[in-house]
Chain A
Amino acid sequence: MSLMNTLLQSADVDAAKAMYSKMGAAIGAGLAAIGAGIGIGRIGGSAMESIARQPEALGDIRSNMIVAAALVEGAVFFAIVVCLLILFV
């Protein structure tokens, strides 16, 4: 924390703030990608298992899997948009 205090008291406070905010945005985008990966991976995994159990339900399972993946991606894209706002606005 003392490092951050020193930085915030220095002359180029704006540069430090910009640096930290960009780092935060980048880490946020990475975390959002992890969230997407975990979420959609679980959806895909359980879809695979249920297709293996019941191959005749392939069509239903496939469409439900795609819908659920799109919903999870919606939440992830919310995080991405926040990170983009930090970086570019």
Chain B
Amino acid sequence: MPDFTSTSAIKTKLKFILLLAFCAFFRHSAVANHEEATHSDTTKHESSVAHTGGSKSHEGAEKPIGDQISNMILGHIGDNHDWDAFGHHIILPLPVILYTKSKGLEFFMSSHFEHGHAEYKGYKLINSGAKIVWADGNKIESIYDFSLTKVAVTLLLGSLIIILIFLSVAKAYRKRVGKAPRGFQNLIESLILFIRDSVIKSSVGPRYKEFMPLLLSIFWFIFIINLMGQIPFFPGGANATGNIAIPLVLATTIFLYVTVNGNKSFWKHILLPDVPYALYILIVPIEILGFFLRPFVLMLRLFANITAGHIIILGFFSLIFIFGSMQTWIGIAVSPASVAFTIFMGMLELLVCFLQAFVFTLLSSLYIGMAIEDHGHHKPEKAHTH
């Protein structure tokens, strides 16, 4: 972590801000290369800001600009079997692991598919790298795709980053037993204590220690993966939490925890609430629906926030090309406003990354707290004589 407390603090902060702005510009140029074949004159403006090389020629007929942009946006927020790191020039092939009943387990690198142009072992890539289907269109046997796609590699990288962070913080604790925390350890510790005190302790209640590992892990996992999605180039840049599978698994974990740990008063509140019997027909379906709906909305909130953020940033930037396709000078005129908006939305996205992790953790701890809450419906103990 850069040292913000030294005498050259102002310079360090300025460098940090410039680095963030530079990253925002790189995101633009990374996307700009995608469009260069059809808009070489509007991208000259972009490439003069962030020096990118060459132009990539698009094959096929020139589609209308709206189609191109929607394909680009959907490709960037979707999953992919190749990883186009750093602006479509450097494409990393990723392992493909397939299982089919007829052929068994297959393992190869996705470079054999040559970005969707070649078939390999009877499979081919469609949707610009997102999906693997049979090359023979008539075959309907299902392919079980366990490949390490862009999102899966992001998950592994994110987990590795979290492990490294916490191992280093634990080592710092061991080294400085009883002394005040310093540096990186201080930063991580302040976040952990903030989540533990204001979120987990107050929401889960007295038994918070049993669930603290789960909830803290969920917070850090979502936070780090969200942040990685905001970085435009290689280890980041994959929209992992925006892939519905990941919030689905997190929400299912919370759902299972709530179901397994729910005590008798929790189920009693859902199935046999404390209301006049005539209202059961109204209240019980609502409670049961709520029981299933709460984790579902938890998943949807995280997924939609992060995906919408990515789409907004990509869309603001695509305005340049949309206007430029009408008249080149309109595109150039719109560029400063578009770039300014994109940087602003990027900053907002950083807040959203933290906020969504925080809200997910808060609501999960609230649901777990509700499930294990002991309302104190104790019957008074009979006095017993010894």
Which A residues lie at the B interface, using CB under 8 A? 63, 66-67, 70-71, 73-75, 77-78, 80-81, 88
Contacts and interface: CB of A to CB of B under 8 A. Distances in A.
Interface of B is mostly: helix
Contact of A73 (B74, B198, B301): B301
19 contacts: A63-B198, A66-B355, A67-B359, A67-B362, A70-B301, A70-B355, A70-B356, A70-B359, A73-B301, A74-B300, A74-B301, A75-B297, A77-B301, A77-B304, A77-B305, A80-B308, A81-B300, A81-B304, A88-B74
Nearest to B304: A77
Interface residues of B, number: 14
Interface string B344-361: 000000000001100100
B70 interface: yes
Contacts of A75: 297
Nearest to A78: B300
Contact of B305 (A63, A67, A73): A73
B297 A74 contact: yes
Interface of B: 70, 74, 198, 297, 300-301, 303-305, 308, 355-356, 359, 362
Contacts of B355: 66, 70
Q: Chain A CB within 10 Å — which of B70, B74, B308 has the most?
A: B308
Contacts of B303: 81
Nearest to A71: B359
Contacts of A73: 301, 305
A80 B301 contact: no
A84 to B, nearest CB: 8
A56 to B, nearest CB: 17
A66 B74 CA distance: 30
A75 B297 CA distance: 8
B343 to A, nearest CB: 22
Contacts of A78: 297, 300, 304
A89 to B, nearest CB: 10
A15 to B, nearest CB: 16
Contacts of A66: 355
A22 to B, nearest CB: 12
B365 to A, nearest CB: 12
Nearest to A59: B198
A43 B356 CA distance: 18
A74 B301 CA distance: 5
Contacts of B305: 73, 77
Contacts of B359: 67, 70-71
A76 to B, nearest CB: 9
B173 to A, nearest CB: 27
Nearest to A79: B304
A81 B311 CA distance: 12
B198 A77 contact: no
